[in-house]
Structure 1
């Protein structure tokens, strides 16, 4: 980060030598007052942004570590290529096996209605 040459206090305390036909001291003082306000505002904003930057860098480091740990640990859920159709077929076979004739009788009765 670049070194600052002035602080708001330096600007406030700066004295200029008066000269003949120079600038109006009241205008210069008014302008410098506005410069000081802006400088203080920029300094405050810069500090807030630096703090936020530090906080976000720490968060990135934390998340990077979590991703690294997650990549090295085995997955808690195995990947599956089973489709919904496979599940429905298995469920149907299981129902036939468990309920057997009851399912066949219920289907025949529903066709009669």
Structure 2
């Protein structure tokens, strides 16, 4: 979807005048409202783009950290198994291998 208008284009728009035309004041007031809306839309779009960029960067940083957490969990599991093995050796001694 391509945006074809902005507040500057709306402001500078000239209409042909005719005998049975519209009230110039009403058209100007309506165009002023449209310009305000376009300005608000542009501001909202820029805010959303900035938020989108921030969230993408946050997601990248989170994805990079995730493997480190898994690696740490793997080390923890290895440590637990090693301690369990040592405990079995201590409790059961030579009976463990019979």
Which structure has the highest helix share of the two? 2
Residue matched to 1:62 = 61
Q: CA RMSD in A?
A: 1.7
Q: Does 1:12 align with 2:8?
A: no
Distance 2:72 2:50 in 1: 36
Which fold has the larger relative contact order, with Cα–Cα distance below 8 Å and residues 6 or more apart in sequence?
2
Q: TM-score, normalised by structure 1?
A: 0.62
Number of residue-to-residue matches in the alignment: 78
Structure 1, unmatched stretches of 5+, are: 81-113
SS at match of 2:17: coil
Residue matched to 1:43 = 42
Structure 2, unmatched stretches of 5+, are: 81-98
Task: After the TM superposition, list the runs of 4 or more consecutive aligned residues in structure 1 that deviate by more than 6 angstroms.
Answer: none
Deviation at 1:74, TM superposition (A): 3.7
SS at match of 2:51: helix
Distance 1:28 1:51 in 2: 35
Bigger CA radius of gyration: 1
Deviation at 1:7, TM superposition (A): 1.4
The residue correspondences of 1:88-103 to structure 2 (distance < 5 A) are: none
Distance 2:5 2:52 in 1: 24
Distance 2:62 2:43 in 1: 29
Distance 1:4 1:68 in 2: 42
